[in-house]
Amino acid sequence: MALRVVFMGTPEFSAPTLRAVAEAGHQIVAVYTQPPRAAGRRGLELTPSPVQREAERLGIPVFTPLSLKSADEQEAFRALNADVAVVVAYGLLLPSAILEAPRFGCLNGHASLLPRWRGAAPIQRAIMAGDTETGVMVMRMEEGLDTGPVALTRKVAIGADMTGGELHDALMPISAELMVEALAKLEAGTLGFVPQPEEGALYARKIDKAETRIDWSRPAPEVHNHIRGLSPFPGSWCEFGAGGRPERLKLLRSTLAEGAGEPGTVLDDALAIACGTGAVRLAEVQRAGSRAVSAEEFLRGARLEVGTKLS
């Protein structure tokens, strides 16, 4: 018999899981997601989240509270009489009253190999740290941040030049498949949980704008990981001289390269840039107000000479 499910999620990453749970035949009695946010070029249009759009397509009631801390919100949640809540990148703190309301508690799909990279930005942080492996885990939520016991795990290799966007897209369908498997086991009474070890715990704090600027004095592998981890969003960047004034350049793809020099210096006519040790070769970049282009296409317009300093 189908489970009564409350789904809680917000970004694009969460939407395939909502769709998969619905297609598996479970009764999704409500969807909770972040409220519509200002978007558009002028930031004036209120845009619903990807999960809200998917829920409306499926005909599921949508709730967008700013907080779940009030007694009224908690009572409304309890009144849904859910067997389980499925939570994937929702973005709001769940108080104990919410965690305890569903009969089987709340299951969270998290994009890391816990306890490594608990928190808000596990995909970006894994790449930025140079990890060669990550994955998706389904765990039972408790009041600690991503500290609950784990039920299912699926591992994924991180390629040497893989970007945050590519890893996001690789993990997204796996998250959906794993949650459907978890619900099937829960329904059958065979879903077991193993406590997380505390050894190896790391926190994936939210990406801050202040850390998106490239520091060319760092070793080349760290610069490379920083570029690909933040690509395509929010994107790392540097500045170069354009017509006598600095212009911001978003860096989207790179590879490790041979060479050495003053950090930030252009080393050749194929956009190899010196780092603190070693060098990276920029492969895809984006000027402000323009589309993303290959390094070759960028150089046809920018004509950066060997010896030019990026900052």
Q: In terms of domains, do 294 and 168 share one?
A: no
Q: How far is CA 105 from the centre of its chain?
A: 24
Q: What is the pLDDT of residue 41?
A: 58
Nearest to 66 by CA among 33, 102, 99, 28: 33
Establish whether the linkage from the previous residue to 115 is cis, with ω within 30° of 0: yes
Q: Is residue 64 part of a domain?
A: yes
Per-10-residue mean pLDDT, the chain, length 311: 94 98 98 88 80 98 96 97 98 95 98 97 98 98 95 98 98 98 97 96 95 97 98 95 82 96 95 97 94 93 87 89
Which residues span the domain enclosing 297? 209-302
Q: Do the annotations mark residue 16 as ligand-binding?
A: no
CA dihedral 251, 135, 54, 24 (to 10 degrees): 160
Residue 308 lies in a domain: no
- pLDDT on residue 1: 66
Note whether residue 80 is domain-resident: yes
Burial class, 45, CB count within 10 angstroms (exposed 0-12 / middle 13-18 / buried 19+): exposed
Q: Is the dihedral of CA 246, 247, 250, 254 positive or negative?
A: negative
Cα separation, 153 vs 111, whole angstroms: 10
Give the count of domains, the chain: 2
pLDDT of 39 reads: 72
In a domain, 297, yes or no: yes
Residue 233: inside a domain: yes
Residue 37: CATH number of its domain: 3.40.50.170
Q: Verify that 107 and 213 share a domain, yes or no.
A: no
Residue 309, domain member (yes or no): no
Q: Same domain for 66 and 184?
A: yes
Query: Scanning the structure block, which residue is given the tokens 């089987």?
Result: 104
Domain end call among 136, 168, 203: 203
Within a 10 A sphere around the Cβ of 158, how many other Cβ atoms? 21
> 237 and 259 share a domain?
yes
Is 112 a known ligand-binding residue? yes
**β-strands 236-242, 203-204 pairing:** unpaired
Q: Please provide the size of the chain in residues.
A: 311
pLDDT of residue 45: 81
**Looking at the structure, do residues 196 and 213 belong to the same domain, yes or no?**
no
Statement to judge: residues 198 and 220 lie in one domain: no
Is residue 175 a known part of a binding site? no
Are the C-beta atoms of residues 139 and 148 closer than 8 Å to each other? yes
Q: Is 267 annotated as a binding residue?
A: no
Provide the pLDDT for residue 161. Answer: 97
* Phi, psi values for residue 184, rounded to 5°: -65, -40
Domain boundary, last residue among 147, 174, 203: 203
Same domain, yes or no, for 26 and 158? yes
Let me know whether 137 and 259 are in one domain. no
Do the domain assignments include residue 307? no
Closest CA to 14 of 191, 249, 194, 176: 176
Question: Are 70 and 168 within one domain?
Answer: yes
Which of 87, 109, 111 has its CA nearest to residue 98? 87
CATH of the domain at 235: 3.10.25.10
Residues 178 and 258 occupy one common structural domain: no
- Of 203, 236, 255, the position where a domain reaches its end is 203
In terms of domains, do 198 and 271 share one? no
Q: Is residue 55 part of a domain?
A: yes
- Name 266's bridge partners: 273
Are residues 247 and 162 part of one domain?
A: no
Are the C-beta atoms of residues 61 and 82 closer than 8 Å to each other? no
The structure's pTM equals 0.94
